[in-house]
Structure formats: structure tokens, C-alpha cells
């Protein structure tokens, strides 16, 4: 979606399950408006957070005029996970991503492999990294869009708030700077977002599930949290185009991933 919209709206890391919310990216042209709905990847829910993530997928599939189903070059078909795509009326465009890593006849072989497993209207091999074939994806999407007045004003880029993106950028840095359970046990809440003429002042609270995780996240003499905060501040300044003062704190919210009430407070199950 970031490549297709031309803005970094969804955070990206090498770790699985980085995306937790449904994020809309709006692309306007003279005769079209495309609303991309980026969702979490498919998974079998293990607790309430996963249930919330999969509810975004369900709603998006019900809303969609076109479904872009993205698989990676080495990904294998999972009958249970992909079952939901067997009864979709909207056209499915299957994108095989990371073809920049392909060797020999691998791309052709993968197209043939998926052709027999998914009821796709089109299969397009792409590379989000290099941009290869993304123009073809854009052309395909336009081909399947119904005629309808735009849902959003022409100058809108997304449906999400500045606070949301501030939290996501900080969360991205947690995914990049920590290993094991820390990224998955962390949630970011923006307590204060004050925009002044020359600076944005942000106060963020990072929640973890246990005291031991709090210690790891902060690090020796606060070194780990300081690095994460610095990395986040630099990206926040790029995103907002303004100097940012970022204040970060760490708190414990026990087992927040398994508690529906906590998840509602964090913006899930809206």
C-alpha cells in the first residue's frame, strides 16, 4: 500500500504480525479515487488481540470491490487460512511479492502453483521493494472498480489521525530494536499530542505485559528506550515535516493482549 499510495502509512518490519490495525490509504486522480485498506496478515487467533486483527480482515473483505491477496515468493498454501477466499464475490488479484529474490523459473513455477489453489481473477508477480510490476497492479485495480462518487475529499490521504501514526512509528521502532516477545507484548498510547508553530510535543506511554519486559524495554540506565525514542523521533520529524519533542514512558498492563476491555481502550474493537 505504501508503494501504491506513495506515502509510508503502514509500518514495515521483517517480523511477522507487524500490522495490527486496518489502515486506509486514499489515492486520488482526475477520474478515480482508490481507497486501499491495509489489514493484518492472516493468522489463526490465539487470544483477543488476534481476534481483533482478524475482525479487520473480515470487514475489509466484506467492503472490498477488489481484493489484493499478497503472498511471498516462498509462501505455501494453507487450506484453513485461505478458506475465506473461496467464497468471495469480488475479483481477487493475487500478488506474488519479493520476485526480486527469485531464481531461474521460480516466478513461473509459483504462478502455476497458486493458479491451482486460489480462485484468482489475475496473478501478478511483483516486488514492493523495487516497484516491479506495480504499475500493472494499479491498472488492474482501476479495471475492476465500480463507478461511484468518491468516499473521501480529494485532499485526504488516510482515515487515521496524527496520534495514530505517531503511535505506529514508535511501535515500529520497538519491533526493530527488540527481539523475542517484547514487540508482540508492547502497545503504544499517545497521551498528549500538542502541535505548535515550530514543534510538535508528544508524550507516549509504552505498555508491556510484565515487569520483566519493562526492564528489558528500558534497558541499562535507560539506554534501550533512549535509542528507540531517538529512532522514533527522527522518523516522526520526517513524517510530520516538523521538529518533534518526544517523551516516552513505560508502564505495565498485565495480559493486555487477552483482555477485550484493555484492547478497546487501545483502539481495537471499535
What is the C-alpha separation between 56 and 154, in angstroms, rounded?
Answer: 25
> What's the average model confidence in pLDDT over 45-67?
92
The answer to the question of residue 154 being in a domain is no
Cβ proximity of 72 and 128 under 8 Å:
no
The answer to which of 75-89, 107-121, 193-207, 224-238 has the lowest mean pLDDT is 75-89
The answer to the question of residue 153 being in a domain is no
The answer to the question of residue 89 being in a domain is yes
In sign, the C-alpha dihedral spanning 224, 252, 15, 158 is negative
Q: Residues 196, 239: one domain?
A: yes
Q: Residues 53, 86: one domain?
A: yes
> What's the average model confidence in pLDDT over 121-137?
94
Q: Residue 10: which pLDDT band, with cuts at 50, 70 and 90? A: confident
Q: Which residues contact 174 (CB under 8 A, 6 or more apart)?
A: 182, 183, 186, 188, 206, 217, 228
Q: Residues 192, 86: one domain?
A: no
The answer to the question of residue 123 being in a domain is yes
The answer to the question of residue 149 being in a domain is no
pLDDT of res. 254: 95
The answer to the question of residue 156 being in a domain is no
Q: Residues 138, 197: one domain?
A: no
> What's the average model confidence in pLDDT over 233-256?
96
pLDDT of res. 270: 63
What are the start-end ranges of the H helices in 37-161? 48-63, 79-82, 106-115, 134-144
User: For the CA atoms of 166, 168, 170, 174, what is the dihedral angle to 10 degrees?
Assistant: 180
Number of independent structural domains in the chain:
2
Query: Residue 178: how many CB atoms within 10 A of its CB?
Result: 20
Cβ proximity of 141 and 66 under 8 Å:
yes
pLDDT of res. 42: 87
Residue 220, domain CATH: 3.30.300.20
Q: Residue 190: which pLDDT band, with cuts at 50, 70 and 90? A: very high
Q: Residues 14, 76: one domain?
A: yes
Q: Taking 70 as the threshold, does the pLDDT of residue 117 lie above it?
A: yes
Q: Tell me the three cell numbers of residue 139.
A: 491498472
The answer to the question of residue 155 being in a domain is no
Q: What is the domain range of residue 20?
A: 2-144
The answer to the question of residue 152 being in a domain is no
Residue 15, domain CATH: 3.40.50.300
Q: Taking 70 as the threshold, does the pLDDT of residue 31 lie above it?
A: yes
pLDDT of res. 116: 87
Amino acid at each position: 500500500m505504501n508503494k501504491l499510495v506513495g506515502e509510508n502509512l503502514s509500518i514495515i518490519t521483517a517480523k511477522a504480525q507487524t500490522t495490527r490495525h486496518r489502515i486506509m490509504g486514499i489515492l486520488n486522480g482526475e477520474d478515480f479515487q482508490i481507497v486501499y485498506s491495509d489489514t493484518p496478515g492472516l493468522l489463526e487467533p490465539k487470544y483477543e488481540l488476534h481476534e481483533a486483527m482478524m475482525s479487520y480482515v473480515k470487514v475489509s473483505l466484506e467492503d472490498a470491490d477488489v481484493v489484493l491477496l499478497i503472498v511471498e515468493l516462498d509462501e505455501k498454501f494453507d487450506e484453513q487460512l485461505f478458506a475465506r477466499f473461496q467464497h468471495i464475490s469480488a475479483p481477487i488479484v493475487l500478488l506474488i511479492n519479493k520476485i526480486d529474490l527469485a531464481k531461474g523459473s521460480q516466478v513461473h513455477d509459483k504462478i502455476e502453483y497458486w493458479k491451482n489453489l486460489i480462485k484468482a481473477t489475475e496473478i501478478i508477480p511483483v516486488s514492493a521493494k523495487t516497484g516491479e510490476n506495480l504499475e500493472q497492479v494499479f491498472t488492474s485495480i482501476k479495471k475492476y472498480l465500480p463507478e461511484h462518487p468518491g468516499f473521501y475529499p480529494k485532499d485526504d490521504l488516510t482515515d487515521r489521525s496524527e496520534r495514530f501514526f505517531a503511535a505506529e512509528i514508535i511501535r515500529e521502532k520497538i519491533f526493530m530494536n527488540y527481539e523475542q516477545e517484547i514487540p508482540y507484548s508492547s502497545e503504544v498510547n499517545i497521551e498528549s499530542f500538542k502541535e505548535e508553530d515550530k514543534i510538535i510535543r508528544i508524550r507516549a506511554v509504552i505498555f508491556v505485559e510484565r515487569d520483566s519486559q519493562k526492564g528489558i524495554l528500558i534497558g541499562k540506565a535507560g539506554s534501550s528506550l533512549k535509542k528507540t525514542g531517538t529512532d522514533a523521533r527522527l522518523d516522526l520529524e520526517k513524517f510530520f515535516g516538523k521538529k518533534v519533542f518526544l517523551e516516552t514512558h513505560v508502564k505495565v498492563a498485565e495480559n493486555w493482549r487477552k483482555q477485550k476491555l484493555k484492547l478497546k481502550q487501545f483502539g481495537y474493537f471499535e
